[in-house]
Amino acid sequence: MNKLKFIILITFLYSYVHSDDSKFNPKLESFDVMIDARSVALGEINIANPNRINSFAFNPATLIGVKGLNFYYNSRDMNWNDQYTKDIRYYSIGILLESRYGYFGLNYSYKNNGTVIVTSVENLEGIGKMKVYNYTFSFSYANYIKSNLSVGLNIKTFDYNYKNIEGDVPDQNTKNAFVGDFGVLYYFKGFINQLALKDKIYIGASIQNIGTDFKWKSELSNEYNNYSFPIYLSIGCTYHIMSITEKGDSTFQFLIYGEFQKFLNPSIYQKSYTNFGGIGFEAIFYDIVSLRLGGIYLPYTNIYGNGNRLSMRYGIGLFFPLKLLGIDYPINFSFDFAHIPTNESVFLYVRKKNLLVFNIHLNFEKTTL
């Protein structure tokens, strides 16, 4: 068979994923998108948020908020157009552990880009199809260095995968990238210190995605092309106030979150959008029901609306300790949902008005490790 000059129409790897031939666009891939419904509803804020189960993905120092042994599953829709993005979704699963040696986390995040048609010069209608997806696997660790100061580290590996599902499709070769994050979290007592009412302030910072490049080549090339990762410097603050009964149980909590993120290494095509941020509000009733409202600031026009302004989202969390059923066993279940409105008047290709995010979390409060 004569060798064809293949034109691989992998939209997500080129025009959608990369702004040029050497760098990933921010906020699109499995290493870079918040999948946890709790944080999504709060404006995708993570840096100073130890009460969110997946915040460690962006600031590993927040792992100190973990209690006992935890398992979780997250899912986030990105199917805003039935023709072009109907199969795009993010998923993650993980395990978190509080132990005498520190706080540990394992996380696997997956982005399904769906099926891509592959064409050639001789056959523009297509010579086959491939399934395209990428994943990030991370190991995380955090511990206290002072009673109110923690540090943490994420070590991550990332890869794109191409699975031939139909026709004579050329091989795609990739080499995993290895990157790391480092974070700190500091907290102190606030302005109120009464028996029935207390408050805290958290301040966090992290730097993300320091490491090697991702490498990719097809049959068209004899050499690997390198793609570097967006490097972020992030700072955040959380104000947390709670009312407490004489037995030490919480009846009401209110939290305000804020975050700023700087994209440090943009390409020449990305220099106009280097500032990201968000703000969030959360009310928690009796540690059972949580109501959340947040806004994310993106510097470019997107499926949520115009750039350089807040795009709102909201959510709810339900927490079910077994003790509510009269069962004296330290197991808790929680379910979280986030709702993300899209804006079809701004981004004309949007065909789905709402995107959903949810997570399931199982917590064993006590461990002996």
Q: How far apart are CA 74 and CA 72, in angstroms?
A: 7
Of the listed ranges 63-72, 305-314, 348-357, the least confidently predicted one is 348-357
How many domains, the chain?
A: 1
Q: Which two tokens stand for residue 165?
A: 């599902």
Burial 36-45 (b: 16+ CB within 10 A, else e): bbbbbbbbbb
Task: Note the pLDDT of residue 348.
Answer: 65
Q: pTM for this one?
A: 0.88
Residue ranges making up the domain that contains 128:
8-364
Q: Which two tokens stand for residue 220?
A: 């068209």
pLDDT in tens, 324-352: 777 778 889 999 999 999 987 766 677 78
Task: Note the pLDDT of residue 168.
Answer: 74
Q: How far apart are CA 135 and CA 227, in angstroms?
A: 15
Please report, as a single letter, which amino acid is at residue 348. L
Query: In terms of pLDDT, which residue wins out, 125 or 174?
Result: 174
- Determine, yes or no, domain membership for 190: yes
Task: Note the pLDDT of residue 131.
Answer: 87
Of the listed ranges 55-64, 127-136, 226-235, 343-352, the least confidently predicted one is 343-352
- Determine, yes or no, domain membership for 3: no
- Determine, yes or no, domain membership for 284: yes
Task: Note the pLDDT of residue 36.
Answer: 93
**Is residue 144 predicted with pLDDT exceeding 90?**
yes
Query: In terms of pLDDT, which residue wins out, 223 or 42?
Result: 42
% of the chain with per-residue pLDDT over 90: 58
Please report, as a single letter, which amino acid is at residue 190. G
Chain-centre distance of CA 289, in angstroms?
Answer: 23
- Determine, yes or no, domain membership for 1: no
- Band of the pLDDT at 276, cuts 50, 70, 90? very high
- Determine, yes or no, domain membership for 200: yes
- Determine, yes or no, domain membership for 199: yes
Q: Are 100 and 90 in contact (CB under 8 A)?
A: no
pLDDT in tens, 149-176: 999 999 999 998 888 888 777 777 888 9
Mean pLDDT in residue range 103-119: 90
Mean pLDDT score of the chain, rounded to an integer? 87
Lookup result for tokens 């199917």 = 79
Task: Note the pLDDT of residue 76.
Answer: 96
Task: Note the pLDDT of residue 15.
Answer: 38
Give Cβ neighbours of residue 200 (< 8 Å, ≥ 6 apart). Answer: 187, 188, 189, 190, 239, 240
3-state secondary structure of 32: coil
- Band of the pLDDT at 298, cuts 50, 70, 90? very high
End-to-end CA distance of the chain: 60
**Is residue 285 predicted with pLDDT exceeding 70?**
yes
Mean pLDDT in residue range 82-101: 91
DSSP state of 267: -
Give Cβ neighbours of residue 159 (< 8 Å, ≥ 6 apart). Answer: 134, 135, 174, 175, 176, 177, 214
**Is residue 28 predicted with pLDDT exceeding 80?**
yes
Mean pLDDT in residue range 177-204: 94
Using alpha carbons only, give the angle 164, 170, 176 rounded to the nearest 5 degrees.
75
Bridge partners (DSSP) listed for residue 233: 207, 262
- Determine, yes or no, domain membership for 296: yes
Give Cβ neighbours of residue 214 (< 8 Å, ≥ 6 apart). Answer: 24, 158, 159, 160, 174, 175, 176, 177, 226, 227, 228, 229
- Determine, yes or no, domain membership for 60: yes
Q: Which two tokens stand for residue 241?
A: 């106030």
Q: How far apart are CA 107 and CA 182, in angstroms?
A: 16
DSSP state of 23: B
Task: Note the pLDDT of residue 2.
Answer: 36
Of the listed ranges 50-54, 62-66, 85-89, 144-148, the least confidently predicted one is 50-54
- Band of the pLDDT at 369, cuts 50, 70, 90? low
**Is residue 3 predicted with pLDDT exceeding 50?**
no
CATH of the domain at 134: 2.40.160
pLDDT in tens, 204-263: 999 999 999 999 886 666 788 888 999 999 999 999 999 998 887 889 999 999 999 999
